[in-house]
Amino acid sequence: MRKKIVYTDKAPKAIGPYSQGVEINDALFVSGQISLDPATGSMIEGGIREQTGRVLKNIDAILTAAGYSKCDVVLCNCMLADMEDFQVMNEVYGTYFTDEPPARAAFAVKKLPLGALVEIEVIAVK
């Protein structure tokens, strides 16, 4: 029951004292991802549609690096800076999780790191 730290340069480096992901007992916990471009470390241009797409790409990169896929995701927590963005975030999210989507919570928070519009964390299980 030893934890394994997951890291990939295909997702943004952590902007604080946390890991991109941690695996233990065939479960992967992916830290909340915002719309940072892994190549530049900067927020991408665009609104909620573009940011949600980038967040899901970042999550996919971490899942892949750990040997998981989106089919292994059992829970997502989606945090929005503004619930007015829920519909568009949900549309983009739906194009990623097309079959047997995971359980999910979506809620508004007062503020997200670096002015992000959306942050998503996931748990995946093999």
- Structural domains of the chain in order of their starting residue, each with its CATH number: 4-125 (3.30.1330.40)
Q: Percent of the chain having pLDDT more than 70?
A: 100
pTM of the model: 0.96
Which is nearest to 63 in space by CA: 122, 13, 3, 17? 122
Calpha distance 89→15 (Å, rounded): 23
What value does the mean pLDDT of the chain take? 97
Confidence of residue 107 (pLDDT cuts 50, 70, 90): very high
- What pLDDT digit, counting tens, does each position of 1-16 carry? 789 999 999 999 998 9
Q: Percent of the chain having pLDDT more than 90?
A: 96
**What was the pLDDT predicted at 3?**
94
Q: Are 35 and 113 in contact (CB under 8 A)?
A: no
Angle between the N-to-C axes of helices 86-96 and 48-65, in degrees from 0 to 180, rounded to the nearest 10: 30
Q: Give the mean model confidence (pLDDT) for residues 30-44.
A: 97
Which is nearest to 35 in space by CA: 69, 78, 66? 78
- What pLDDT digit, counting tens, does each position of 48-75 carry? 999 999 999 999 999 999 999 999 999 9
Residues 86, 13, 66, CA angle at the centre, nearest 5°?
A: 85
